[in-house]
Amino acid sequence: MKRINVFLLSSLLLAAFSMACTETERSGNDGIPEASIRATALENRVTVSISIPADHHAYLNRGPQDNLIPVEFDWKPAMEAGKIQQEPALESSPEGKTEEATGALVLRGTGEFVFSTAGAPHGADLRVRTQICNEISGMCFRPSWQTVTIQ
């Protein structure tokens, strides 16, 4: 009887721990955390605001080993729709902080990327790629592309 109670208690604890670990990573598709992204146009600028979940970061550059996956912007949908004629120039981006383990610049919290455009491409679609990394476990999730409509 004592063995059965210990086994049941162990099984319940293991199940509860597994569920708790799974829940901490849920927010995007398939439980993968994802950035919250919005884009707004004002005069000749588009501002893309990217918010990274708490206890996570995204890379702003490829790092000194040139092996990391930074935030990337794909303007092809806007160009194909005729909303812009050429890819906008990046005017400013978040400063970021240097991650000790990799030497790369990372974005924590929210950062804004400002692009100069010819006109205000309201209603145009923009694709943004991020790779989210968990700062507690050290795990980086597969990169994902999100399509955002410029407001």
Residues 103-143: tens digit of each pLDDT: 999 999 999 999 999 888 999 999 999 999 999 999 999 99
Rounded Cα distance between 75 and 67, Å, is: 23
pLDDT value for 10: 46
pLDDT value for 28: 57
- Across the range 9-33, mean pLDDT stands at 46
Q: Does the pLDDT of residue 72 top 90, yes or no?
A: yes
Q: Does the pLDDT of residue 5 top 60, yes or no?
A: no
Among residues 118, 126, 121, 93, which one has the least CA distance to residue 107? 93
Tokens of 59: 């890379």
Q: Which residue type is seen at 84? A: I
Please say whether the structural domain 32-149 has been given the CATH code 2.60.40.1250: yes
Q: Does the pLDDT of residue 21 top 60, yes or no?
A: no
pLDDT category at 3 given cuts 50, 70, 90 is: low
Specify the residue for token string 């902080």: 97
pLDDT digit string (tens) for 29-70? Answer: 667 899 999 999 999 999 999 999 999 999 999 999 999 999
- Across the range 2-30, mean pLDDT stands at 43
